[in-house]
Chains A and B, each alone.
Chain A
């Protein structure tokens, strides 16, 4: 089993749909992250969880709702998205959440989301 898995790998949804992205890590890490990568733009950090508690929310619209039920699983719930939310959504994990982001992060393969 690879370290960080994400499902689904591809998702097409309408603006009125509700869907969820799932991330699972098998590395025994304590910190998990959601990133957004839009075309032609740098990676953007969306949410950070440490020991199942959200520690960072980078001004992300409320139509994105994260959930971390345990240290191995991270979800991103999506509702009433806009076409500009189409992007690659990447999950990552690290051993700890050092204040300096000094821990190496392990990335999942990403979910490519298209909002019609």
Chain B
């Protein structure tokens, strides 16, 4: 069992829908990262958080340290949001989830 689990594995949505991707972890972490990977392979760091909630444009990330759970929300989704979303966390080592492949259809 992976120490960082994401759900769902795949997600298809219609443009404009509200999207939620979940991440649960069993390791102790100091910070949790949300990354976005586009089809070409390049990875962009979206958020790094250790408590509470962060917002950037249409993206919102939350974390509950006690429950070892984080969520990434996308409001008013758009086809350009189509990508693989990866959560990762760790202390002295980084553990990555398998990713959630999001497809937003026009």
Which positions in A face B, CB cutoff 8 Å? 37, 40-45, 56, 58, 88, 90, 92, 99-102, 104-110, 112
Contact = CB atoms under 8 A, between A and B. Distances in A.
B94 to A, nearest CB: 5
A100 B31 CA distance: 7
Given A43-B88, A100-B30, A102-B31, A109 B40 contact: yes
A102 B30 contact: yes
Nearest to A90: B43
Q: 6 smallest A-B Cβ distances: which pairs?
A: A100-B30, A107-B43, A110-B41, A43-B96, A42-B96, A109-B42
Contacts of A105: 33, 45
Nearest to B88: A43
Interface string B61-105: 000000000000000000000000010101111111111000000
Nearest to B40: A109
Nearest to A103: B48
Given A90-B41, A106-B45, A109-B42, A42 B90 contact: no
A32 to B, nearest CB: 14
Contacts of A112: 41
Q: Which of A37, A43, A112 has the most CB of B within 10 A?
A: A43
A41 B86 CA distance: 12
19 contacts: A37-B41, A42-B4, A43-B88, A58-B93, A88-B41, A100-B30, A101-B91, A101-B92, A101-B94, A102-B30, A102-B31, A102-B48, A104-B45, A106-B45, A108-B42, A109-B40, A109-B41, A109-B42, A110-B43
Nearest to B29: A100
Contacts of A107: 35, 42-45
Contacts of A106: 45
